[in-house]
């Protein structure tokens, strides 16, 4: 699977009602650290395949979801399971740390 982009209107369907865990990356076009982790998220999406969906939400274009979940700085990554935020990681990190965080959560 590849990383997909979701807007506020799709958030409930694609994230909260998703079957299986979903990692949401709250990001913005102007955010350097967000761009820094993007290749790692693409690679992790391929590695996890159907076990984990990875979705990006542009906070400038879609303010509702980040506001609902208290996103104050970006990048903020959240793992949702069964419609609930199960874990949050704020800031850029190397791929290995993101993978460890995902594995601990799942």
CB distance 26 to 76 below 8 Å: yes
pTM, whole model, 2 decimals?
0.96
Residues carrying an active site annotation: 31, 34
Identify the structural domains of the chain with CATH numbers, from first to last: 4-96 (3.40.30.10)
3-class secondary structure for the chain?
Answer: CCCEECCHHHHHHHHHCCCCCEEEEEECCCCHHHHHHHHHHHHHHHHHHHHCEEEEEECCCCCHHHHHCCCCCCCEEEEEECCEEEEEEECCCCHHHHHHHHHHHC
Taking the CB of residue 76, how many other CB atoms lie within 10 A of it? 21
Distance CA 9, CA 32 (A): 26
For the stretch 47-86, pLDDT in tens is: 999 999 999 999 999 999 999 999 999 999 999 999 999 9
For the stretch 3-25, pLDDT in tens is: 999 999 999 999 999 999 999 99
């Amino acid at each position: 699977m590849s990383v997909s982009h979701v807007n506020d209107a799709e958030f409930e369907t694609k994230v909260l009602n998703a079957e299986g865990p979903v990692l949401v990356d709250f990001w913005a076009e102007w955010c350097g650290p967000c761009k820094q982790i993007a290749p790692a998220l693409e690679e992790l999406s391929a590695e996890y395949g159907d076990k984990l969906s990875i979705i990006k939400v542009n906070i400038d274009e879609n303010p509702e979801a980040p506001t609902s979940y208290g996103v104050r700085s970006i990048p903020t990554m959240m793992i949702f399971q069964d419609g609930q935020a199960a874990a949050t990681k704020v800031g850029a990190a190397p791929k290995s740390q993101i993978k460890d965080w995902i594995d601990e959560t799942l």
